[in-house]
Amino acid sequence: MAKKRFLILGASGRTGFEVLRQAAAQADLYTVAAIHSPAKKSIVEPYANEVICLDYDQPGALLPALENIDVCYMVLPRHDHEITHANAIIEAAVQASIGHIIYLSALTLAGDTGAAAQTKIQIQHQIEQSGLNYTFLRPTFFMQRVLYLPFEKDRNRVRIFATVGEGRVPFIDTGDIAKAAIISINNPKLHRQGINLTGDYALSMAEVTRLLSRYLNKNVIYIDEPEENFSKRLIAEGYSDLRVEKQLETFRLWRANQHSDVCTDFYEATGQKKTDFKGFVERELSQIRRIYG
């Protein structure tokens, strides 16, 4: 049987790279890794049958990339033009008549009118309206998200900043998100469906930093910052005003424990195991040491 041609957008990114690595181990998939920065080619090359460079700001390249593709993993970096980029990809996917699009959305709450949630809801709606076969992955905050929060460190101490107070979230590992993407390809029960994805238990940032302190043998503390100060840090990292607002919105929900519920449906249906936060820290310890050590 011919292999399914699987185009992985954002293949050098946090979830895209995991999807690519797991897809490479599937005998029935032919992987096409789409990257943005040519410098990242060497990272994805060992796992990809083909590598292409794509810039969502050059929509003319999308149709040729999607032609002869059976399945596409679509991830859009948080960006002011997220909806425009999504629409260009959806339009090209329809023209190319691809069989299945797996969209990395986010877990949203009923009635959330914030820009972050509405962006994801609007893109899902566009896909539903397009007639394409789809799976929506709706993860909560990634475990990996902790590792790119702003921080300051000296020899004895690491201070990690956010605006989430004592709020708890059931962080999910990007590897588990990728697993759901791969499983959805050959499971029609997961087509025309949204899958909510969380970890097994919710943690606060104070609990996360206590765990990191133990593993790093260093004092790691969480600093609950006023939004104004935190925004300045994000702007210094290159965030646009809209992106800052979207980040603050989602962190307000985290702070208010609005995202603390655990979702089990997908795992009960598939028998998949979830990665727990301690397991994540143990697996990524050398990278975590490089960041905070």
Ligand X SMILES: NC(=O)c1ccc[n+]([C@@H]2O[C@H](COP(=O)([O-])OP(=O)(O)OC[C@H]3O[C@@H](n4cnc5c(N)ncnc54)[C@H](OP(=O)(O)O)[C@@H]3O)[C@@H](O)[C@H]2O)c1
**Interface residues with ligand X (CB under 6 A)?**
10, 12-16, 35-37, 40, 54-57, 75-78, 104, 106, 139, 141-142, 145
Residue 91 neighbours by CB under 8 Å, 6+ apart: 62
Kindly state the smallest distance separating residue 224's Cβ from ligand X, in Å: 18
Strand ranges for the chain from DSSP E: 4-8, 29-35, 50-53, 71-74, 100-104, 134-139, 151-153, 157-162, 168-169, 193-197, 203-204, 219-224
Bridge partners of residue 222, in order along the sequence: 160
CB of 261 to ligand X, least distance (A): 15
In three-state secondary structure terms, 168 is: strand
**Closest CB to ligand X among residues 56, 292:** 56
Nearer to ligand X, 83 or 218 (CB): 83
Q: Label residue 102 left, alpha or beta by phi (over 0 means left) and psi (-120 to 50 means alpha).
A: beta
Beta carbon of residue 203, minimum distance to ligand X (angstroms, whole number): 14
153, two tokens: 């460190």
In the complex, the smallest distance separating the C-beta of residue 278 from ligand X, rounded to whole angstroms, is 19
**C-beta of 10 vs 199, nearer to ligand X:** 10
Nearer to ligand X, 56 or 266 (CB): 56
As measured in angstroms, the least distance from the Cβ of 1 to ligand X is 30
Query: In this complex, which beta carbon is closest to ligand X, that of residue 7 or of residue 75?
Result: 75
Q: Please report, to the nearest 10 degrees, the dihedral formed by the alpha carbons of residues 182, 140, 15, 85 taken in order.
A: 100
Return the residue nearest ligand X (CB atom). 13
* Nearest-approach distance from CB 135 to ligand X, in angstroms: 15
Distance CA(233)–CA(150), nearest Å, equals 7
Burial of 167 (0-12, 13-18, 19+ CB in 10 A): buried
Q: What are phi and psi of 7, to 5 degrees?
A: -90, 120
